[in-house]
């Protein structure tokens, strides 16, 4: 498998689905890549990592730019016609096994109706790329939990697409700052305890830091730093009620300075962590 990932492909890779019912791989198409109509006994979720391709069905064709996704059901005749050297991530899976594990994800795939989905936010694409690497590495392991770990990562990717993707034909959404900001808001909420560099978000989106800050404050009502602090403190409140340990909670919430944690907590909640705990004990 390692050799397959490193070399350019001139023709499709022959895939035999393992007993686990899931296989992830990347296919790097050369400039002279050729493919005839084919149909597989398993479903596929395709991600265009680099380049641009055209997916051809019997009665229609769909343009797939970089960072787009498409779901191909089992036994659907198709082939790819690339515009340039293209790199794809291909998730081959048994839909029955997916349905046994994650029924809602299976329903969501059906709702896609083979319409391409697009992920504009680069920080989400970066996270999905990292998850793909985890799956590729895990597939080479022989530990007892390998199968469940692979399915868990695949489900995580599906959830990201479901939550953040937009249909390609909806052109107005691709340049809609409001949509980008609300997706960024959700990302900060989910990763508030991590170190987030907002300038990198702006750079990845191809806009200035000032523009990003302006639109974030316009739609969310506060700057990104304050919003992340509020998310961290809200998380800290939940953790305090669970473990009653102020020092552990401070570091768990992303604060490396206990005095700073106390100051921000009192600023946003109107009391110290100690007083917060006492009030909830009462």
| Predicted structure pTM score | 0.62
Q: Give the H/E segment covering residue 225.
A: helix 224-243
Q: What local confidence, expressed as pLDDT, does residue 52 receive? A: 86
User: Residue 169 pLDDT > 70, yes or no?
Assistant: no
CA angle 117, 109, 122 (to 5 degrees): 35
CA distance 165 to 53: 18
Q: What local confidence, expressed as pLDDT, does residue 237 receive? A: 96
Q: What local confidence, expressed as pLDDT, does residue 1 receive? A: 34
pLDDT in tens, 25-37: 998 888 888 888 8
Q: Are 79 and 64 in contact (CB under 8 A)?
A: no
Q: Provide the 3-class DSSP secondary structure of residue 127.
A: helix
Residue 46 burial (C-beta neighbours within 10 Å; 0-12, 13-18, 19+): buried
Which of these ranges, 48-57, 194-203, 237-246, 261-270, has the smallest mean pLDDT?
194-203
Rg (C-alpha) for the chain, rounded Å, is 22
CA distance 208 to 226: 19
Average pLDDT over residues 244-271: 95
Angle at which helices 273-281 and 258-269 cross, to 10°: 60
* Domains of the chain, first to last: 2-170 (2.60.120.280), 176-282 (1.10.10.60)
């Amino acid at each position: 498998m390692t050799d397959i990932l490193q070399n350019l492909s001139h023709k499709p890779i022959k895939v035999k689905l393992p007993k686990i019912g899931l296989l992830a791989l990347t296919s790097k198409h050369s400039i002279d890549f050729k493919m005839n109509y084919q149909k597989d006994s398993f479903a596929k979720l395709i991600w265009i990592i680099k380049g641009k391709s055209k997916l051809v069905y019997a009665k229609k064709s769909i343009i797939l730019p970089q960072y787009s996704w498409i779901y191909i059901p089992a036994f659907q005749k198709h082939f790819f016609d690339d515009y340039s050297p293209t790199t794809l991530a291909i998730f081959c899976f048994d839909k029955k096994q997916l349905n046994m594990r994650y029924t809602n994800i299976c329903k969501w795939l059906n709702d896609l109706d083979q319409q391409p989905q697009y992920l504009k936010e680069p920080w989400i694409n970066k996270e999905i790329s990292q998850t793909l690497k985890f799956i590729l590495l895990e597939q080479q392991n022989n530990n007892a939990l390998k199968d469940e770990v692979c399915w868990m990562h695949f489900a995580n990717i599906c959830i990201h697409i479901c939550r953040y993707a937009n249909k390609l034909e909806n052109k107005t959404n691709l340049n809609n700052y409001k949509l980008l900001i609300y997706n960024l808001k959700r990302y900060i909420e989910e990763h508030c305890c991590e170190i987030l560099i907002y300038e990198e978000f702006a750079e990845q989106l191809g806009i200035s830091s000032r523009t990003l800050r302006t639109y974030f404050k316009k739609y969310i009502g506060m700057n990104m730093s304050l919003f992340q602090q509020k998310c961290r403190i809200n998380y800290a409140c939940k953790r305090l009620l669970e473990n009653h340990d102020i020092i552990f909670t401070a570091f768990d919430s992303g604060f490396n300075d206990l005095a700073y944690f106390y100051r921000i907590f009192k600023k946003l909640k109107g009391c110290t962590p100690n007083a917060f705990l006492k009030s909830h004990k009462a």
